[in-house]
Chains A and B, each alone.
Chain A
Amino acid sequence: MTGEDRDLGMNDEHLDLEEELGAYLLGALSPEESRRVEQMLDSSEPAREKLDWMKPAVDLLAETVQRREPAPELRERILGEVSASLPAKAESARAPRERRSWFRIGGLSLQPAAAMAVVVLVVGIAFAGYQLGTDGGSTTYQGQSAKLTVDGDDGILQLTGVANPPPNQEYQAWVQRGSKLLPSSPIAVRKNGTASVAIPHDLDGAEAVVVTTEPAGGSRTPTGPVLTSVQID
């Protein structure tokens, strides 16, 4: 134990437990050992920092395995179980008011940059896109580097020529109603600069679909700059 360790209040047991952090993350400790490590982590910032440092290696172990594609039937079973768990009224024919419970409406407070983005968007909305046409019940709207196909109340947003978001950030879609932007789906960009995402919300009466840059994991209110938008009219 070095003098610095003593200065930090570490004792032999603490250092022994720190050496077990890798095993702790692997789940290889006994219940009693795990409990002692957790007690140490509760009281030691250096130990928590070391745990954070070690964690990516354990997380990535899961990605080192041979990649196998699951059968399409597995996807259907999982999504079928999800669908079956939904209340009946959520799947019934939609009146816009019934879908409202899926939206975060009211009380939205836009950060200044996002609020300004919405003002700019509303002002520029006339130049943001146009309707491409209607085909078999669906309607397609064109924006800058973006295309929205609306079928019934839902839509598919497609982006082209899109740069990847900055590290620890992601693109997120929003449905614009008046001055409000209602959160929709996160968007993953392919290496070739394209992206496709479902916009599951009721688009009937919506004015546009907007894409902004948000922190990884998404946001409940827009915080970042507008990437693109598609006017619906």
Chain B
Amino acid sequence: MPLIADQDPVAFEVFYDRHGGAAYSLAYRIVGQKTAAEDVTQEAFVSIWKSGARYDRTRGSVRAWTLGIVRNRAIDNLRREQGKAPKLTFDDDAILESRPAEELTEQEALRHEQARELRGALDELPTEQSRVIKLAYFGGFSQSEIASMLSMPLGTVKGRMRLGMEKIRTQLAEGLA
């Protein structure tokens, strides 16, 4: 990241190759269209380049930071272009990892395994808990909006979101132990 901050284009190329696939996948999941996902991904990476990659290590991994930027831009795109149609029909359980396992780096393999753990934890949640979490994360909806969409009290949404997040975090910790 220091090299990208110094406007090193080859370092940026390595950075894109490392995180571009995950970024595009997340953008596609949120906006649901190839062209929009490409636009979001391009905007996110170019903004990282032009801003000098102001990454703060205390806030988490480079990967999480990058995907956070992509998510924010994807949700902005969703609000601006598509009226925030809720994406409830995606089958996130389908894992179409195109690269053979032996080509994954150790970090990628660890992330893959952790993502699988988290996916399993989400599957085990009651539907009403996983639904509110997915609406918030992939749809960009606030708790108030979710309560309105699902015709339930705000307090119920808050409780389900809290319980769901604590459950998956606890299960993730147990899976990593």
Contacts and interface: CB of A to CB of B under 8 A. Distances in A.
Interface stretch (A20-28, A105-113, A118-126): A20-28
B9 A83 contact: yes
B118 A57 contact: yes
A93 interface: no
Given A61-B118, A188-B18, A164 B106 contact: yes
Interface of B: 1-3, 6-14, 16-18, 20-22, 24-26, 28-29, 37-38, 41-42, 45-46, 49-50, 55, 57, 60-64, 67-68, 70-71, 75, 90-92, 94-98, 101-107, 109, 111-112, 114-115, 118-119, 122, 133, 136-138, 140-144, 146, 158, 161-162, 164-166, 168-169, 172
A5 interface: no
A29 interface: yes
A184 B11 CA distance: 8
A59 B67 contact: yes
Interface in A1-47: 19-20, 22-23, 25-30
Given A56-B169, A82-B49, A164-B106, A27 B67 contact: no
Contacts of B142: 28-30
**Chain A: interface size category:** 35 or more
A82 B37 CA distance: 19
A175 B156 CA distance: 58
A218 B53 CA distance: 14
Nearest to A81: B46
Interface of A: 19-20, 22-23, 25-30, 53-71, 74-75, 77-79, 81-83, 85-86, 90, 102, 154, 164-165, 183-186, 188-192, 197-198, 200, 216-218, 220
Contacts of A27: 75, 136-137, 140
